[in-house]
A = this chain, B = another copy of it.
């Protein structure tokens, strides 16, 4: 028996906070459990880490098999260790959060349709395990992150307008930002490229379309919002 195997090891789960944005709402993907514990309660999707998997492997396994998704922004959030967080015994959770564009996926038409559902983070059901803590940490991280890091576009279409990005920021940060100052900061940072065309079919003046600038490295930018 190897030295590091002399004790039983805690189980290791990877739990996912999948954020999706649509209709001016930041939503999170929840799974309705069919087994105990927390049967019929909503929880974050997750799985136990297999011996040969990396965390990202497990993330992709969950998102692929359960949700039919793949390939998007994924970042490690935090590891949760409260001894009683799982009533079955000792389970450590490594939490990741993902940013996806729901319109690119067919969640509802998946093979476990009734089990998986988007919830607005403003209207959450009671969650099982310590998943509310994990979700809160993820929201906090996301809010802090978009202030200086251009991750917002992960939640939008490839082409998006400035008002759309602006509304995304206001929704996530739950505050109002002067649209003209916002525009100036974002454009000064060089992280967008104008696609030349405009979004048609809206009520009023057609807004310009932009794409995320994958070529050059964006400058620093900083949206000044006092969180906490």
Which of B4, B52, B79, B89 touches A11 (beta carbons < 8 Å)?
B4
Q: What is the count of identical protomers in the complex?
A: 2
| Assembled-state Cα–Cα distance A92/B11 (Å) | 11
| Assembled-state Cα–Cα distance A4/B36 (Å) | 12
Question: Would you give the shortest CB distance from A58 to chain B, in whole angstroms?
Answer: 9
- Chain A residues touching B, range: 20 to 34
Asked if A88 is an interface residue, CB under 8 A from chain B, the answer is: yes
Asked if A44 is an interface residue, CB under 8 A from chain B, the answer is: no
Question: Would you give the shortest CB distance from A47 to chain B, in whole angstroms?
Answer: 10
Question: Would you give the shortest CB distance from A54 to chain B, in whole angstroms?
Answer: 5
Residue ID in chain B nearest A92 by CB atoms: B12
Check if A89 sits within 8 Å of B12, measured CB to CB.
no
Residue ID in chain B nearest A217 by CB atoms: B228
Residue ID in chain B nearest A219 by CB atoms: B226
Contacts of A78 in B (CB 8 A): 76
Check if A82 sits within 8 Å of B94, measured CB to CB.
no
Check if A79 sits within 8 Å of B55, measured CB to CB.
yes
Task: List the interface of chain A (C-beta within 8 A of B).
Answer: 2-5, 7-13, 35, 48-52, 54-55, 76, 78-79, 81-83, 86, 88-92, 94, 220, 226
